[in-house]
Chain A
Amino acid sequence: MAAVLADELVAPSPGALLRRRVLGHTGLLIGAGVLAAVVFMALAAPLLAPYDPYDQDLARRLIPPIWHGEGTWAHPLGTDMLGRDYLSRLIYGARISLLIGFAVMLISGLIGTALGVAAGYFGGKVDLVVTYLITVRLALPVVLVALAIVALVGSSLWLVILVLGLLKWDRFAVVMRSTTMQVRELDYVVAARATGASTARIVLGELLPNVADALVVVATLEMASAILLEAALSFLGLGVQPPLPSWGLMISEAKSYMFFSAWLITIPGAALLALVLAINLLGDGIRDVTAPEGRN
């Protein structure tokens, strides 16, 4: 009893507090768990996948998954219309989704953060120009413009990444601009300026570390949204190209078979939903546990 009381009296360290908040946040834990599983799946794909995802076997096409009765353990998730093992394609597909999500997030994050921090820190004319750029960007319909550019230049994985990266920086810019505006007036930034620190030093040493939480939250949301966009572009036939096992492309290719072989679209769709949900839950969770009042 006395020991417990003594423990309670010692204020927990900030690290311990954060750990307690993280462990108490169900959504964050679920999101992190699922995301970790998908990342592992993507990294260990050659070890996990039972077959080559490109191997066709027309004698074994459209085998239903195991829960359908006629399924076989040789192909737990069945095979597609070309007889390719669906589980193997699903596992390799995680690589494409994660790569696109991560790369788009990096490119758009770099552009958006640079613009947003510049607008928030310098204000005045810089802010006007950035606000104008954000407004123009928001007025352009992302799906339509991305489709048009991909159709124009020719679709490939890297082009999709580049186009989405150049289109999706708006939320980074908006959030970084307003967060920087708040932080700019705080005492430690004013103090740094008073001691004669250079702009680069203030931005890199004082501003960025203190807007990092907000940045991570936007980054997760943008990664999720980039994954959904790639799937939509691939579904419309203007994203990554066959035979790559992109989940969106798998749904697109199976569209004409879906009435008799519904699993061909439900399985990759469920995988997309699970991955995007996990990333969003992780983002929301990080926002909750890093918020000053630690709300849940």
Chain B
Amino acid sequence: MLAYTAKRALLAALVALTVSAACFMLVHLSTDVAVAMAGEGARSEDIEFVRKQYGFDRPLAVQYADWLGRAARGDFGESLYFRTPVGAIVWARLPTTLLLGALAMAIALALSIPLGVLAAMRPNTWVDRLTLVIAVVGQAMPSFWFALVLILVFGLHLGWLPISGSETLAHFVLPAIALAYYAAPAIMRLTRSGMLEVLASDYIRTARAKGLRRPAVLFKHALRNAIIPVVALAAVQLGFMLGGSVVIETVFALNGVGYLAWEAILHNDFPVVQAIVLLVALFYIVLTFLADLANGWLDPRIRIG
């Protein structure tokens, strides 16, 4: 297990380093930061001064090492649009996105695990068919369109929930549902197949044969074994969700990191975009690392192979 963990950690660190280099290059290729920082109407002497002052005339590798060192301490430079430190802006928006992600994942799990278990208990019945339809339609639904339809139905026609902004918890409900529907199908399908596999195994037959009651077999013996891969998948999905939240947050004008990313992209504010891409990527890397550990701990074949 230790060797497996070390190997996984090494890969994660290597990937994080590569992603950081890609993020650095993104800003470097995108704009001449010196020109952007000198501001509009700057003379070429001013631009040269900024270039020297901030060290943009040094070799690329040196600049990257310097940038990485500061990024590791949370210093991503100054936003070209907001004219304040990037780290502070992103940090201020992070709780909104984390709350959205947590709510969305809670909704997705609350919907997909019971449905997945039900479908596995009664394969090829109408329950199973229904969950399949929900999953298939969910995978085909454009998430931004689903969000707009939610706004029309629950915001406009029924008037139950606010449709724009992030002031109260109620503002998070529709975005969380929209984001949850995006992650639910995969979790539901994995729960179903995992439960089907476990329910067909010998130890479940033994548990049934020794007269254990149905709920005890189902929850104590079956679900507990089927759930760890599901949790691992949920972790990975959460990473995807943070990346996908740019669409949902923009639709609902929810003031999180995703919305910030969209604003920054529209204003060519690439230092902010860079920081957000790196942040989302690091989240994903950490979550998949944890998922790998969970899978390896559960299944010795994975950590040895």
Contacts and interface: CB of A to CB of B under 8 A. Distances in A.
A142 interface: yes
A139 B30 contact: no
B212 interface: no
B142 A238 contact: no
Please provide the 3 A-B residue pairs with the shortest distance between their CB atoms, ordered closest to farther. Answer: A141-B243, A269-B145, A277-B140
B250 interface: yes
Interface string B1-41: 00000000001001110110010001001100000000000
Nearest to B141: A273
B197 to A, nearest CB: 14
Contact of B280 (A136, A141, A224, A251): A141
A212 interface: no
Contacts, number: 123
Given A132-B11, A231-B142, A262 B152 contact: yes
Given A140-B277, A272-B145, A151 B247 contact: no
Nearest to B282: A139
B220 to A, nearest CB: 30
Contacts of A258: 148, 151-152
Contacts of A35: none
11 contacts: A136-B15, A140-B19, A140-B281, A141-B244, A141-B280, A147-B261, A147-B262, A228-B142, A236-B250, A251-B148, A265-B148
Interface of B: 11, 14-16, 18-19, 22, 26, 29-30, 136-137, 139-145, 148-149, 151-152, 156, 240, 242-244, 246-247, 250, 261-262, 265-266, 268, 270, 273, 276-277, 280-281, 284-285, 288
A235 B247 contact: yes
B179 to A, nearest CB: 13
A97 to B, nearest CB: 11
Given A141-B277, A238-B265, A255-B148, A136 B284 contact: no
Interface string A265-286: 1100100110011001100100
Given A231-B142, A272-B142, A144 B148 contact: no
Contact of B156 (A132, A148, A259, A273): A259
A148 B145 contact: no
A277 B141 CA distance: 8
A152 interface: yes
B11 A135 contact: yes
Contacts of A228: 140, 142-143
A232 interface: yes
Contacts of A238: 265
A248 B142 contact: yes
Contacts of A251: 144-145, 148
A251 B143 CA distance: 12
A82 interface: no
A236 B245 CA distance: 12
A237 interface: yes
Contacts of B288: 135, 138-139
B276 A132 contact: no
B152 to A, nearest CB: 6
Contacts of A224: 140
A36 interface: no
A143 interface: yes
A144 B276 contact: yes
B26 A148 contact: yes
B208 to A, nearest CB: 25
Contacts of B246: 141, 143-144, 147, 236
A43 interface: no
Given A139-B281, A148-B26, A259-B156, A280 B136 contact: yes
